[in-house]
Amino acid sequence: MTVSLSSLLAPALAARAELIARLHAEQTDCYRLFHGTVEGLSGLTVDRYGSLILAQSFHQALTEAELAELEAFYAASHPDLPVIYNDRSGANSRIANELSPERMAIAEAPREISEGGVRYAFQARHSGQDPWLFLDLRAARRRVMREAAGKSLLNLFAYTCGVGIAAAKAGANHVVNVDFAESSLSVGKDNARRNELATRPRFVKSDVFPAVRQLAGIGQAQVVRGKRMPAFPKLDAHRFDLVFLDPPRYAKSLFGVVDLVNDYPALFKPALLCVAEGGSIVCCNNVAQVGREAWLDQLERSARKAGRPVQSAEWIAPDEDFPSLDGNPPLKTVLLRV
């Protein structure tokens, strides 16, 4: 490093002062403190999650001296918040560094965080790799809460069901969360229990493709090209006022391929067919190389072919704790009314 780490962390924290005040006012205590890709050290992120600070490195591990400097900086700026460091610079972004028994106890301790008055479970270390709440989706969850009262929501690739819980908290009358991982849905169920909700969300453990095809009324065959498909829950066709679609960059199963670069419409079309007339679909694409205008054009063309043309499009930009160099952040989120 040619500059000290503190000289990067300090201006990043100062730049967030106004935002942090607004977030605290809306009952949010989790946000990004340092976004290294833009703020001087690519691959390093530092996030506050309630009563803890989580630092993660994705390109190369912090040296002992760098980690000590980072810990000293936040000990001064946030003296009551312990710092946990996860080195994810190795294969598949898996956490590679060991912690002392004392630090591991802090990292594995169950905690509760708040975003917009919605309470979520959090642990800095758990059986998976990613934090249980993705902070760059905060603006999208906030937007869903503005939209959700009295409406139905389908949350696809729900992970820990943050969007679904936020919608239920905001007064949605019917919420369905779909994800393949039972461990993620278990956290989602815990999140539901932590909040006073007028209606209990539904949690469906399923590959998204058979779930969305059945909900769209297309149906999912049990045998395809002579090959028996894995078991999947049977669902009745149903249209929703709001569908939230936040797929991973790439995933492949016997039911289909998720490919955000080359074939977003393969997933978008059946999801779109789950939207009620006059309803909306929120689409996310987190691949930096995909241009947002080209992607939107692709969605609009796909919607026309499906007979559900887009009536309006509203971009949802991440909050200021996720700055971008060119005003085009890697995470692109758009609300389409159809």
Instruction: List the domain range (segments joined by +) for residue 89.
Output: 6-110
- Over residues 255-274, the mean pLDDT reads 97
pLDDT at 328 exceeding the cut of 60: yes
Query: pLDDT tens, 191-207?
Result: 999 999 989 999 999 99
How far is it, in rounded angstroms, from Cα 151 to Cα 331? 26
For residues 75 and 216, membership in a common domain is answered with no
| Confidence (pLDDT) at 2 | 63
pLDDT at 1 exceeding the cut of 50: no
For residues 273 and 307, membership in a common domain is answered with yes
| Confidence (pLDDT) at 326 | 84
* Residue % of the chain over a pLDDT of 90: 96
If DSSP codes are grouped into helix, strand and coil, which group holds residue 312?
Answer: strand
Q: How confident is the model at residue 214 (pLDDT cuts 50, 70, 90)?
A: very high
Query: What number of H helices and E strands is found in the chain?
Result: 11, 17
122 in a structural domain = no
How far is it, in rounded angstroms, from Cα 257 to Cα 253? 6
57 in a structural domain = yes
Bridge partners of 242, per DSSP, are: 153, 280
37 in a structural domain = yes
Q: How confident is the model at residue 53 (pLDDT cuts 50, 70, 90)?
A: very high
- Over residues 229-247, the mean pLDDT reads 97
- Over residues 6-17, the mean pLDDT reads 98
| Confidence (pLDDT) at 59 | 92
**CATH code assigned at 143:** 3.40.50.150
127 in a structural domain = no
Query: pLDDT tens, 108-163?
Result: 999 999 999 999 999 999 999 999 999 999 999 999 999 999 999 999 999 999 99
Name the domain count of the chain. 2
248, burial (CB in 10 Å: exposed 0-12, middle 13-18, buried 19+): exposed
- Over residues 253-273, the mean pLDDT reads 96
For residues 152 and 71, membership in a common domain is answered with no
* Lowest-pLDDT range of 6-15, 43-52, 223-232, 262-271: 223-232
| Confidence (pLDDT) at 261 | 96
- Over residues 243-248, the mean pLDDT reads 98
For residues 141 and 14, membership in a common domain is answered with no
| Confidence (pLDDT) at 79 | 97
For residues 106 and 140, membership in a common domain is answered with no
For residues 208 and 263, membership in a common domain is answered with yes
pLDDT at 104 exceeding the cut of 80: yes
For residues 219 and 310, membership in a common domain is answered with yes
- Last residue within a domain, chosen from 69, 93, 110: 110
